[in-house]
Structure 1
Amino acid sequence: MAKVKCEFFSEVLGISTSMTVLLPEVGKNRIGMAGAKKKETYPVLYLLHGLSDDDSTWARRTALERYVAELGIVVVMPNGYRGFYTNMQNGEKYFDYIANEVPSVAQHYFPISTARNETFVAGLSMGGYGAMKLALNFPERYCSAASFSGALDIESYLKEVSGDAAREKMNTFGTVSDFLGSENDLFSLAKKVSNEAEERPRLYQACGTEDFLYAHNQNFQTHIIEETNLDLTYDEGPGAHTWDYWDEQIQKALRFFEL
């Protein structure tokens, strides 16, 4: 794989920002890694980071490059800051940035397919929330989405946090009444997609049983099973909010995507 650090100006955020991109290589002479088949355009995985990370973290803390080397897929890892991939109540429009500007910039510079059946999104923690949010707001764009240790039950999160965390979440989502039924509410979005969408994304959800977000993930899984007819694959087992767990889960998600 070729790894590119793409630095660009975001018109939405009004700042210079970046994305880290993995691109397929066709070469056959590298020891220990095979190449991909040459194509005009490649499927794309938008891979989102967690609250304390940036666009470089997935490539630094997992063997992601090795996992995707033979799959012939472009992996786009944008910098999402601490914005929860959300148009904040008091702040920047991170959802407009991640949903529209990042794909537009990536498609401009890199050989990325725009076909729905070749477009995937995944993420961990805050990024797991962002991945589900993108797929459920735009089911016509994404064929599959995966969340690892995702912050999926934001309503409960808003009610539980206090201090600086509560102030940050208030700036992001507003009050619980602001949040419920909005483009940020995964539970409401899931029911809407289930009832109204012509195309529905396949969903993969994973959370470790020792994770502090485990109960929230159980709540989301129960909602999907009992209140929707969406196609959800759920995986749980021993694991905490750690990179050992996410390194394992990105491999499972790549198999789930059936690339």
Structure 2
Amino acid sequence: MALIQCQFYSEVLGLSTSMNVILPQATRSQIGLEGKQGTGPHPALYLLHGLSDDDSTWLRRTSIERYVASLGLAVVMPQVHRSFYTNMEQGAAYWTFISEELPALARSFFPLSDKREDNFVAGLSMGGYGAFKLALQHPERFAAAASLSGVMDLHASRTDPMQNAMSPAEWLNIFGPDEIRGTDHDLLELLQRHAALGTSLPRLYQCCGTEDFLYKGNQAFRETCNTIGVPLTYEEGPGAHEWGYWDAKIQDVLAWLPLKEH
């Protein structure tokens, strides 16, 4: 695998930012690792970080580089700080960055496919929210999306902002004072809209540990899917909001992705 650390200027954010990218590399000479590289543009997984993390965290706390070596899959890991993948009320336009600018820049830097069937998004915690927000706001762009212990019911989280991980002032800086329920920030609302329209959605995978403080919100998302008939692969079991759980579950996500031969 080729691991590339990128520093670049974002016109949308008006500042320099970063991303880490894993690119497929065909090799048999690395001990204990056999890489795979298909022909043509690579399928890509956009892998999103959580509230307290950055673009390096998946590399530092899991073996994601080793897990994808045999898949011929590129992995793009961007930096969005504590923005909740949102155009912030008091801050930068991180939603426009992640949904519009980043994919275009990544494809200009690297040979990544722009086909829907080759694009996937996943994330943990805040990144799980971001992954499903991307999939539900732009279902035409992604074949599959996965949330690991994601913030699935943002409205409910507002009354107890991320177990004190966010202060009320920080919440207001991101989302402002207005109601979350029924807006484009609300994943449950986005589900309802698509159900009414009969939209063809990406495949959705959701998991959460039963000891996780976000477990109730994950149940609410699953129940909404069941009620309105949105297909969802859902897994739960023992686990808290921690990296041992996510390191194990990202392997399940990779096995679940509908990858095609290239």
Would you call these one fold, judging by a TM-score over 0.5? yes
**Cα distance in 2 between the residues matched to 1:143 and 1:99:** 15
- 2:53 maps to 53
- 1:192 maps to 193
Residues 55 and 77, structure 1, Cα contact 8 Å, conserved in 2:
yes
Q: CA deviation at 1:89?
A: 1.9
- 2:10 maps to 10
Matched, 1:221 2:222: yes
Letter in 1 for 2:176: G
**Cα distance in 2 between the residues matched to 1:174 and 1:183:** 13
**Cα distance in 2 between the residues matched to 1:247 and 1:149:** 12
Q: CA deviation at 1:195?
A: 2.5
- 2:85 maps to 85
How big is the alpha-carbon RMSD for the aligned residues of Structure 1 and Structure 2? 1.4
Q: CA deviation at 1:14?
A: 0.6
Matched, 1:182 2:183: yes
**Cα distance in 2 between the residues matched to 1:165 and 1:220:** 24
**Can you give the 5+ residue segments of structure 2 that lack an aligned partner in the other structure?**
none
Residues 158 and 176, structure 1, Cα contact 8 Å, conserved in 2:
no
Query: Which secondary structure state, in structure 2, belongs to the residue aligned with residue 246 of structure 1?
Result: helix
Q: CA deviation at 1:151?
A: 0.9
User: In structure 2, do the counterparts of structure 1 residues 66 and 164 end up closer, same or farther at CA, with 3 Å as the change threshold?
Assistant: closer
Query: Which secondary structure state, in structure 1, belongs to the residue aligned with residue 76 of structure 2?
Result: strand
Q: Deviations over 1:97-125 (max 9, x none)?
A: 10011101100011100010110000000
- 1:106 maps to 106
**Cα distance in 2 between the residues matched to 1:236 and 1:164:** 25
- 2:172 maps to 170
Q: Deviations over 1:14-44 (max 9, x none)?
A: 1100000000001221111111133121100
Q: Deviations over 1:114-173 (max 9, x none)?
A: 010110000000000000000000000011100001011100011223796222112212
Query: Which secondary structure state, in structure 1, belongs to the residue aligned with residue 50 of structure 2?
Result: coil
- 2:232 maps to 232
User: In structure 2, do the counterparts of structure 1 residues 168 and 231 end up closer, same or farther at CA, with 3 Å as the change threshold?
Assistant: same
Letter in 1 for 2:195: S
Residues 119 and 142, structure 1, Cα contact 8 Å, conserved in 2:
yes
**Cα distance in 1 between the residues matched to 2:114 and 2:255:** 21
Q: Deviations over 1:198-236 (max 9, x none)?
A: 42111100000111111111111111111x222201110
- Give the count of matched residue pairs: 257
- Worse-superposed segment, 57-66 or 162-171: 162-171
Q: CA deviation at 1:197?
A: 5.1
Query: Which secondary structure state, in structure 2, belongs to the residue aligned with residue 71 of structure 1?
Result: coil
**Cα distance in 2 between the residues matched to 1:100 and 1:191:** 24
**Can you give the 5+ residue segments of structure 1 that lack an aligned partner in the other structure?**
none
What is the TM-score normalised by the length of structure 1? 0.96
Residues 204 and 233, structure 2, Cα contact 8 Å, conserved in 1:
yes
**Cα distance in 1 between the residues matched to 2:166 and 2:57:** 24
**Cα distance in 2 between the residues matched to 1:17 and 1:26:** 29
- 1:40 maps to 40
Q: CA deviation at 1:187?
A: 0.6
- Worse-superposed segment, 80-89 or 164-173: 164-173
The percentage of aligned residue pairs carrying the same residue is 51
Residues 88 and 94, structure 1, Cα contact 8 Å, conserved in 2:
yes
- 2:139 maps to 139
What is the TM-score normalised by the length of structure 2? 0.94
Moved over 6 A (4+): none
- 2:27 maps to 27
Residues 144 and 258, structure 2, Cα contact 8 Å, conserved in 1:
no
